Structures are given as structure tokens and as C-alpha cells.
Structure 1
Amino acid sequence: MKTKSARRARKAGKRSIELLPPGGLGLKVVFTPPWDKSAFALAALVGAALGVAGAIAAGGAQTAQAGYAAVHDLRDAPLAGAHGARSELIARIAALGSSERLQPPAPKDAAAGRPKLIIIFDDMGPNREAFRTVMNMPGPVTLSFLPYADGLQPLVDEAKRRGDEVLLHLPMEPRGTADPGPHSLRSDMRPEALFETLMWNLDRFEGYAGVNNHMGSRFTRDGQAMKRVLAALDQRGLFFVDSLTTGGSTGSSAGAAVGAEVFVRDVFLDAEPGRDAIQRQFALAEAIAVKTGYAIVICHPHAETLDMIGPWLTTAPARGFELATVASLRAGRSRTLAAKN
């Protein structure tokens, strides 16, 4: 004689259920419960399976994040740049660690004196659709073009006509296996080869005001190599923005040694994928700008970033911020030096 539970099991067959753990990056776990168990036992088993699925999802999220960071040479990059006289203050702001505690400023009546948000879009050039999206955003913004991309000059000219700032995104050697692309600067190059490679990149298009590094977590640690590069940039009247892909970068000290003008990014907007992570970096950038007068923010032309940053830039003036360029900081430095003299 068959029991009721056995009849339930035979009727159910091997029917499975799908578990979708929160934060699972789209992960779907298929689970076949023992249907002949009581309802209470089934509930306990499904709950345990969901817990296991959640753990798998968390591991998948960590793996995805690590892979993302490796591809972009950001594994060693501090999310908030700490450098020079700003380092202690920025470290304190970043240590707040909660967007609820990073409050934007009250709107001011005039743009003069407002905290500046300087937004640098890295990796521009290969993706024309991303370029068009940025061109439809409020500005001014800064676009950093990869020199090995084809057909850059019309894009550069269009951005400059719109009032945006243009940088050259100079490929540099990373640590690990990330590929910076062709004609990248390597720390093992002899001075002649280094200079020749640098010139190849600098001659790819015209109209850029400065340079920032693409990857470079290994190259920027090499003080001698950085001095050679920064001295050459300074001779051309170009400033350098250290993307700070490693906390061990020598960009600032090498620049000081050769008298080159160096700025350092404050926030990587999308070094960690995910809308919540980007939202936290929005808040951090605003807090740094309020406390120090400006924040240099670097982001990448990923769909998720572009989707979120447009509304943020649109509403920034109403929240009391000025969208600005690195050149505006350069002008401010010149006025300060003139006043001291």
C-alpha cells in the first residue's frame, strides 16, 4: 500500500524549481527538492538551498568584480586618490564610507566659488556610440582619447567645438596580464625607445590640452621613466593627470622633480561595477569637491556608467556644483602663483 507522500512524489516526478538569489548577477540555481517530504521539511530544505545559492552568487559577484578590475588594470587602484596636501583630508572623507553621511552643499547663487566636478571619460575613441552619448550630456566634460583608435581628429574637433576638454589617453605598462594596447610605454624600454614610442602616441592627433595614463600600474611606479615622460610633456606645454591606477605611483614626485604640471584623480567612478557602487562614488566625489573645492573624477564609457552619469551631471548645478575642466584648475594655480609673486 502506497502512502500519500509517495503518491505526491510520483505525481511530482522530478519537477525542479528555480532559485534566484538576490545580488546573484542573473544567476539561476535549479533545485530538485524531495517532494515526498512534509511541507515543513520542504520549506526548510528550500531555505537552505537558497542560502547555498546566495553564497554561490556572492562568490560569482566577487569573481566578476575581480575580473573587471583586472581587465581595466584597477586591482591596485585606490577608489579615492590620496596624494599630496589633499591626502589626509580625502582619506578622512573616504573613511566615512556611507553615502548617507556624504551630504551635498546647499546651492549657491553664482557659479563663481562653487565646488567643481571635473569628469574625465577615459577610453574614448573606439566606441562611436559612447562618444555620441557623451556629446549629448551636459558639459563641459573632459574626453580622453586612446591614441591607437582610428579617425580621432573629427571626434576631437567636435568635442572642442562643444566646449569640452580633450586629453590623450597614453597607454602604459600595467602589472599583471591586462593589455594596454599597441605602442604602450614600458618600464624596461631604453630612453631612445621610450621617447620614440611616446612621440608616436603624441603625434596621433592634435588639440589635446594634456595627457593621462591608460593603465600603467607598473610603469607609473618607475620614477626614472616617469621623469623622462613628464619632462617631455612639459616641453610641449602639456599637463599630466595621474589616473592613479596604483597607490605606488610616482607621478606627483616625478613631476615635482622635473618641474612638470601634474594633477591626480580623486575618484574612480566605476572601478567597482554595479549601480550601488557607482552611486557611492557619486557621493564621495561631491563630498571631496565640497571640502577641497574640486574633485577630479575618472569614469569609463560603459553602458551602466553612461546611463547613470547623465542625470547626475544634469542635476549637478542645482545641487550647487560647477561642471569644470582640468584647465580651470590650471588657471586657478596660475592666479595663485601670480598673487604670491
Structure 2
Amino acid sequence: MRQILLFSLCLCFSFSLYSKEEKQKAIHVVKPKISIVIDDLGDNSIIARKMLSLPVKMTAAILPHTPHANLISDFATAKGHDVIMHLPMEAFTRPDLLGPGALFSHMLKPELQKTLLTSANSVPHMIGFNNHMGSLLTENREKMRWVMESAKQKGWFFLDSKTSEVSVAQLIAEEVGVASIGRDLFLDHQGHAPSIAKQFKLMQQIAKRRGHVVAICHPYPETSVFLAEHLTELSKNFELVGVSELLISQLKSEHLALTHSLK
């Protein structure tokens, strides 16, 4: 139901005119938006619930067919977070890290789409997905088109984790008509506190400059501690939102720009 509501809203923003009250609100100065995505959830429910209990809105990216996917998804939804599937896709290295439900370049269309939908059924409440690994598959235009065709039928959005610098996934999503956005940075790619602090500062700089940012992190103990210490303070100057809200906000901005250009 949430994905149906999300994209019903998107359609409304795309085709309806703003009310006088909405136009007045648009004039007001708003806080830059930050969307923090927690990847690799599903195997450890304790740290997942600890991070998702922080008093800000985030996005929970849950690996399919993991032992705690249902519990974490229910918990995240109850806390008001977005839930997306962290879909394993073939990479150029380390196939042993993919886990179950992965998509591979050797798959024909029926097998690939069946695998995708079976994986999605293991993640309740999901309204979108992003790629886990996938440096190889996200460069494949044909396979990405098959993925996005299924996503469009289901009303899902797509977040490109950008594990490849030449990923075509977001481009194909836009061609097919799937709402999409790309990751801007990883908060904890190196996994230690000084690096997280540096990326945390960069995240804020991007948000201030562009108005929004998407940052991916992981359920590492160091990350959990750092976010617990800094997110409340961060929320004073930034609006922390789920990826879905960021997409809707972008659609509203695009609609306003189009409305002004037609005058």
C-alpha cells in the first residue's frame, strides 16, 4: 500500500497545479534535506533496531532472504522509516559476498525477473530498492532494462548505490519511467571514526550547496555510535528524510520549475 500511495502522490505532483497555500510555503526558506540509508540489514537485528531507533527518519535497506528481514522491516516501518530491498547484483569481484537472491549477467529475462520478484517477497513493506554490489550488472543496459521493467510494474523506486562509475542503472530507470536517484557518498566506506567524521562533514557541505544529499552507511558498531552522538544535533540545521520523501520533493521542485517556465 505504501508504494501505491507514494507514486499516487508523485502523479498528483506531476499533473496538478499547486494551491495558493502550497505556493506560499514554497517561498519559505527550507532546511537542506539529508537522506541516510542503512545498507546490509537483515542478519543482525540488534544493531539494526538500535540504529533505527535513533530519533530521525532514515531508510532501511534490507538484504533479501536474510534471517531477520521480516522483523527489521516491521520495526523500521513502525518507526516511520522507508524500507527498501538491498538487491544483490553481480560484481566484478567477490561473488561469495552476494548472498541469496542475487541477479547475474548469465540469467535470461524470465529467470532474472523471477529471482527479483522472489527476493522482493522476502522483504515486507518495501517501496523501492538499491543495488548491493553490482559493479558488473549495473553496467549492463539489457539486464538493467529487465530489472526496471519489473520495478515499474510494481511501483518501486530505485536508488543507484553507484558501485560502478559507469553505471547505467539510473539512466535506464529514467528511460523506463521508474523514479530514481543516486547515492552521493558512503559515510563509512573505511569503517573507522575519523573517516566517518570526514564524510559526515562532506555530507553536510553537499546538502547545503545542492539542497539535498543521499548518504549510505552500514550497520557497523562505529557507525552506530557516531550517528547516535551526532544525528540529533544534525537535525537542527537539516531535515532528515527517507529516500521516498526526497524523490517527492524533487518532483515538486520540477513541477514548480515547469510551471514557471510555461508562464
How far does residue 154 in structure 1 lie from its aligned partner after superposition? 3.1
2:132 is aligned with 1:220: no
Cα distance in 2 for partners of 1:295, 1:275 equals: 21
Q: Tell me the CA shift for residue 152 of structure 1.
A: 2.4
Q: Structure 1 residues 128-137 or 220-229, which shifts more?
A: 128-137
Q: In the alignment, is the contact (CA less than 8 A) between 1:138 and 1:310 conserved in 2?
A: no
Given the alignment, which residue of 179, 182, 185 partners 1:264?
182
Q: Tell me, which stretches of 5 or more residues in structure 2 are unaligned? A: 1-27
Q: State TM-score, norm by structure 1.
A: 0.64
What displacement does 1:243 show? 0.5
Kindly state the Cα deviation for residue 298 of structure 1 after the two structures are TM-superposed. Answer: 0.2
2:119 and 2:168 mapped to 1: Cα distance?
A: 21
Contact 2:87–2:101, Cα closer than 8 Å, also in 1: no
Structure 1 position 148 matched with structure 2 position 61: no
The corresponding residue for 1:54 is: none
Counterpart CA distance in 1 for 2:228 and 2:29 is 23
Give 1:151 deviation, angstroms: 4.2
* SS of residue matched to 2:189: coil
Which residue identity is paired with 2:142?
Q
Q: Distance in 1 between matches of 2:29 and 2:243?
A: 16
Paired residue for 2:149?
231
Contact map agreement 2:83 2:126 (CA 8 A) in 1? yes
Structure 2 partner of 1:293: 211
Q: How many pairs are equivalent? A: 230
Same amino acid, percent of matched pairs:
32
* Aligned ranges 1:134-283 → 2 under 5 Å: 134-178=51-95, 179-283=97-201
Deviation at 1:254? Answer: 1.1
Distance apart, 1:337 and its partner CA: 4.5
Aligned to 1:49: none
Larger radius of gyration: 1
Change in Cα spacing, 1:271 to 1:151, as seen in structure 2 (3 Å) is closer
Question: Normalised by the size of structure 2, how large is the TM-score?
Answer: 0.83
Q: 1:45 maps to what in 2?
A: none
Q: Do the aligned residues in 2 keep the contact of 1:252 with 1:263 (CA within 8 Å)?
A: yes
Q: SS of the counterpart of 1:297?
A: strand
| Cα distance per residue 1:291-324 (max 9 Å; x no partner) | 1111100000011111112212121023x11111
Segments of 4+ in structure 1 off by > 6 A?
none
Whether the 8 Å contact between 2:180 and 2:247 is mirrored in structure 1 is no
Gap runs ≥5 in structure 1 = 1-110
The 3 A distance-change label for structure 1 pair 273 and 134 is: closer
Paired AA for residue 253 in structure 2: T
